[in-house]
Structure 1
């Protein structure tokens, strides 16, 4: 049984969220994204991450329907998880990153059924840190399978074969803060 979890805490709107670091691939600075036509507003666009096309979700728009303002502290959390038939990589646009917390299991409560400000299927639980609560998100639930499929189809129509290792033009190193070392792989979820 797990006795402790490592959680990355970050801000989105006036809420502090947490994400199990096993989902986290890296944290990158905010940058110009390529918009995808006919996508919902919470899909900010795609970025070129060392030759890979990564869709970026505006977490504030996804959760509350209002686009997040851009600031000097805004950044993109690149997360990876197991999808239906392949590994999925997404960027989560957030207001700012706080810190990595080591939380004892007894400080993490199951997702409440009532009174949550966000849909509970996005939640992995709620963590108590001192006198405050942090909503823990499930990276694999930020976009549902239908939305992921639409993003993939749009990229294919635009001529970008999803999952290909061919670099895009003007490939650039975008990492501001690295996640696991290049030889380490995030855990499957």
Structure 2
């Protein structure tokens, strides 16, 4: 019996967890998501980059918390009741890392065909578009699909 996940992978369809930041919607591959947590107090690390808010102890694992707004150069906001931490596991060439990313709010889970994703147009000489793997239309809105490896390669 073929599972639904295998069938989706054969068709080139992936599921993405989407979230809101600065009134825009972004998505990450749902297979990278370990859990979604509400905002909690963290331990601040001295001399860390501004976007590294600190660390939390997640069942014995020390997890760095990255403010994705600051990582993307968006204005900082005060954390509120909708602020969440999406804990993701990112596979790098030689190892994997568990990282928490703060976002304004979680939105939806979408099944998106990889062939529907469009390339990000290059509009400047800076590499800010490196964080976005592609753009996809979902209904009336556009969702930016995040390349977590590039975004979290600090």
Cα-to-partner distance string for 1:5-56 (whole Å, 9 max, x where unaligned): 2011101122110111121111111110100001111001001100100001
1:110 — aligned with what? 119
Structure 1: how far apart are the matches of 2:61 and 2:44?
Answer: 16
So what's the TM-score if we normalise by structure 2?
0.85
Cα distance in 2 for residues equivalent to 1:20 and 1:83 = 15
Structure 2 SS opposite 1:64: coil
Given that 1:107 and 1:129 are in contact with CA atoms closer than 8 Å, whether structure 2 keeps it comes out as no
Q: In structure 2, do the counterparts of structure 1 residues 28 and 104 end up closer, same or farther at CA, with 3 Å as the change threshold? A: same
Per-residue CA distance 1:103-143 (angstroms, 9 max, x = gap)? 2334311232237xx81111110011112111110111223
- Give TM-score scaled by structure 1 length: 0.70
The answer to whether the 8 Å contact 2:22/2:74 transfers is: no
Gap regions ≥5 residues in structure 1: 148-189
String of CA shifts for 1:125-162, please: whole Å, max 9, x gaps: 00111121111101112232xx3xxxxxxxxxxxxxxx
- Counterpart position of 1:57: 66
Question: C-alpha separation between the residues in 1 aligned to 2:32 and 2:77?
Answer: 22
Between the two structures, name the one with larger relative contact order (CA 8 Å, sep ≥ 6).
Answer: 1
Partner of 1:153: none
For structure 1, which segment, 77-86 or 16-25, has the greater mean C-alpha deviation from structure 2 after superposition? 77-86
Aligned residues: CA RMSD:
1.7
Runs of 4+ off more than 3 Å = none
Distance 1:52 1:102, change over 3 A: same
Report what 2:48 is aligned to.
Answer: 39
Q: Does 1:126 align with 2:135?
A: yes
Partner of residue 31 from structure 2, selected from 22, 37, 44: 22
Query: 2:7 matched to which residue of 1?
Result: none
Partner of 1:95: 104
| Unpaired runs of at least 5, structure 2 | 1-9
